[in-house]
Amino acid sequence: MLREKLNWTTQKSESTDAGHRGGTLCSSDEAAVMAVERRKRVVQRKHVGQPQWEEPMSQAKPFEINKHDVFNAWRQVKANRGAHGIDEQTITEYEGSLKDNLYKLWNRMSSGSYVPPAIRGVEIPKRDGKMRLLGIPTVSDRIAQTVVRNLFEKQVEPDFHPDSYAYRRGKSALDAVRVTRRRCWQYNWVLEFDIKGAFDNIDHELMLKAVRHHTNCPWTLLYIERWLKAPMLMTNGQTVARDKGTPQGGVISPLLFNLYMHYTFDHWMKSYYPDVPFVRYADDGLLHCRSEREVIVLQLAIGERFLNCHLELHPTKTNIVYLIHYSLDGLSGNISVSKAVPQKQRNGYEDSQNGSQTGYFIGSWDYCQRLNSRSRMT
């Protein structure tokens, strides 16, 4: 009789907050999307005509993916906005059928049947006039990548080097610039490097080897491999297969790139050159050396290391820099000045007071300029 009296729907006056009853806290929006089932003293929430986020025991999924993780991933994707993928579905359109869309995504990911769609290839101009190729996933795929990223990030982040600054919580390009400026007063020689086409040349086998070193979660491994190999649909309608690289524009790509560079460079430096301080921001890096011989030997060693990992130093953006430190007497006391002079200009350097300015103040030379520009974009 009690069941007949209750219509099993939550009235407007009823609270969806389970915190005071010892249950799991969730927002009203989350409860509506996930169709949370409430028993005993809590009224069970139903939505007529829409599938429920509840699976019979006989239909248990091979992968245990928490529904709350999917919903939280959706909230992150919505907050970040972003462009549409190959299906041209916007964030607003996806939200129009949010419950059905999230259930479908969770169901496919939990069953192992989720196959990422092709990513949309978009070219944007770079500072040097060349074009950068981005790979834009669909809204649904960005949510799926966020679910995996959030889990995998917790497993790899503790192992990352403290002087790796890109795409990490609590770190920024300005932090890298600050550390670099301080160290430039302690070392006279600097090697700054850039990697040519870094994201586009990641080796998939080495990448997956690094992933397996940090996790044995079957669905994490499955979907990361599928994302690495997802094809790209170009603007001319051509679908391009991908056997290397991780697309810039993907949610999980920055984390995977950092992991790849951790073993390619950060961990390698710590093992073979522990006394050489460095900072790295994505594919840009800077190392501090004590002598010209040391910096030249290090450049050759890094170049060989990158080639062994299927990467290449950029020929024009990799430079050896000699730092000149001196003091000037000013009205307010001693003013410390540090100048950076590219190696090719070092022999012909003259003091700026004599009219020649071949050097750059620390904080204004190329590496710091790139970091500052990146910090404005993040």
pLDDT, tens only, 299-312? 999 999 999 999 99
Band of the pLDDT at 341, cuts 50, 70, 90?
Answer: low
Q: What's the predicted TM-score (pTM) here?
A: 0.76
- Cβ atoms of 245 and 199 within 8 Å: the answer is yes
Instruction: Compute the distance between CA of residue 329 and CA of residue 336 in angstroms, rounded to an integer.
Output: 9
The per-residue pLDDT for range 158-185, each reduced to its tens digit, is: 999 999 999 999 999 999 999 999 999 8
Sequence-distant (≥ 6) Cβ neighbours of residue 167 within 8 angstroms: 254, 255, 257, 258, 282
Q: Would you say residue 106 has pLDDT above 50?
A: yes
Tokens 């010209």 belong to residue: 292
Exposure pattern of 162-173 as b/e (b: 16+ CB <10 Å)? Answer: ebbbbbbeebbb
Are the beta carbons of 228 and 210 closer than 8 angstroms? no
Instruction: For residue 89, give every residue at least 6 positions away whose Cβ sits within 8 Å of its Cβ, in sequence order, or none.
Output: 138, 139, 140
Please state, in angstroms and as integers, the Cα–Cα distance from residue 346 to each residue in 188, 205, 289, 340, following that order.
Answer: 12, 42, 16, 9
Residue 10: pLDDT band by 50, 70, 90 thresholds? very low
Do 159 and 277 meet the contact criterion of CB atoms below 8 Å apart?
Answer: no
AA identity, residue 18? A
Does position 197 have pLDDT exceeding 80, yes or no?
Answer: yes
Residue with tokens 């929006």, as numbered in its chain: 29
pLDDT number for residue 340: 55
Confidence check: pLDDT of 151 > 60: yes
> Which residues have C-beta within 8 Å of that of residue 12, sequence separation ≥ 6?
none
